Amino acid sequence: MVYTKEHMRSEKNKQLFPKDFLWGASTAAHQVEGGNYNQWSVWELAHAAELAKHAKKTYGWLLNWEDVKPLASQPENYVSGRAVDHYRRYEEDFDTAKSLNLNAFRFSVEWSRLEPECGQWDETEVAHYRQYIQELKARGLEPFLNLWHWTVPVWFAEMGGFAKRRNLHYFERFVRKIAEEYADDIKYVITVNEPNTYVANSYANGKWPPAEGNIVKACWVYLNLISAHKRSYKILKSAKKSLQIGAAPQLGNIQAKRPHNPLDQLSTKLMRYIWNWFFLVATKRQLDFIGFNYYFTDYFTGMFKRQNPGVPLNDMGWYAEPEGLYPILLRTWARFKKPIIITENGIADAQDQYRRWWIEESIVAMERAISEGVDIRGYFHWSLLDNFEWSDGWWPKFGLVAVDREHGMKRTVRPSARWFADRIDKLQS
């Protein structure tokens, strides 16, 4: 047998990933389901026209502005609406995930569907998610249930949402319901998604609902989300001890621009602590695994000034350094010594020019880290489908699978996804 370089590489590396490694894709209810009524959908309708009007100011600097312009200048871009109709097409989407050799799937349950009025459960929706979980399992896709991915029922937002400590009691009641209904059917739960990003955009810079720019409040909400995690952990563990529970903060590979400059080192250290570690340190006793989402490598200089290389950039103008996953894996492992699951990782790339490179570099980063003893148990790509990218709307394309919302929500598997499927197959065989 002739061994090609590619073959030898995969021969050696395939032992690195454990047999039961979780290869998954990640989604969030509001971004894919369609027909949601929550604090985000209300905000979208109120702000779509204004966001469209300012599209040039917001995105005009992008090199791909001409491609972005047609969608970004229309108010409909900023409305989740029917989303990608995943609420009704989930079986087809799970079949696609399976055909891509995935064995795990991360989704969120939409609180506003389950409890549309305070204290009133919609049993049809409860049954919907039960069926949803069953369909995943029937296909050999391990369900990763995420309790909260930034959306809340309108009644909860009107009461002050997570900014009021006493409101945590409502979230706990929701978690108890989830535990009661689904704990027997699942092994993994993620409590909160990117509490750091949420607090930054919703309460510190005021970009997202409730659009407050109040740093003190932002810190308070952060502390409340830490408590929300801890209380959820307790509720879920008393429902089923064997549940594996984690959270999904966003961790950045934060580096000093000038490695030996004391000021750059200081801002880097502080940024790492505030952005990356604060939540994990506060919750470490209530984490069975460390989940994190990786998208960003950022170089800091002077007083917290970000200064990244000019290329490569994703469609949204984000500096793309997929290999930055390696240092963040090492540092996370050194700090917590707990199993790690990468709960999101991906790139906005409408032309599918960079996605394969991004995934390949991410796999290599994991291989490096595993070879040094880091215990990584899973990788979830963001996302299975093109989806509603929050205040940026529909134009950014993160999907392994493209969705044509103009033509019957047609799904088309991107070439990079086929390559990924093949890679998973090789790594597992």
Contacts with ligand BGC by CB under 6 A lie at 28, 31, 193-194, 197, 250, 293, 344, 382, 389, 398
For the bound state, the minimum distance from the C-beta of residue 149 to ligand BGC, rounded and expressed in Å, comes to 6
Indicate the residue among 28 and 204 with the shorter CB distance to ligand BGC: 28
Indicate the residue among 64 and 261 with the shorter CB distance to ligand BGC: 64
Indicate the residue among 193 and 202 with the shorter CB distance to ligand BGC: 193
For the bound state, the minimum distance from the C-beta of residue 387 to ligand BGC, rounded and expressed in Å, comes to 7
Block residue for tokens 């003893």: 373
**How far from 294 is each of 236, 328, 341, CA to CA, in Å?**
26, 9, 11
For the bound state, the minimum distance from the C-beta of residue 187 to ligand BGC, rounded and expressed in Å, comes to 21
**How far from 401 is each of 84, 165, 172, 357, 384, CA to CA, in Å?**
11, 40, 35, 16, 6
Indicate the residue among 10 and 58 with the shorter CB distance to ligand BGC: 58
For the bound state, the minimum distance from the C-beta of residue 180 to ligand BGC, rounded and expressed in Å, comes to 26
For the bound state, the minimum distance from the C-beta of residue 253 to ligand BGC, rounded and expressed in Å, comes to 15
For the bound state, the minimum distance from the C-beta of residue 343 to ligand BGC, rounded and expressed in Å, comes to 9
- The CA-CA-CA angle for residues 252, 254, 256, to 5°, reads 170
Q: For the stretch 141-158, what's the b/e string if a residue is b when 16 or more beta carbons lie within 10 angstroms of its beta carbon?
A: bbbbbbbbbbbbbbbbbe
Indicate the residue among 250 and 286 with the shorter CB distance to ligand BGC: 250
- Interstrand relation of 244-248 and 188-193 (parallel, antiparallel or unpaired): parallel
* CA neighbours closer than 13 Å in the CB half-sphere of residue 424: 26
Strand order in the sheet with 253-256: 253-256, 297-301, 305-306
Cα gap 102→114, rounded to integer Å: 28
For the bound state, the minimum distance from the C-beta of residue 267 to ligand BGC, rounded and expressed in Å, comes to 22
Cα gap 180→346, rounded to integer Å: 33
Indicate the residue among 248 and 370 with the shorter CB distance to ligand BGC: 248
Indicate the residue among 126 and 347 with the shorter CB distance to ligand BGC: 347
Cα gap 101→214, rounded to integer Å: 45
Q: Quote helix, strand, coil % in the chain, to nearest 5.
A: 50, 15, 30
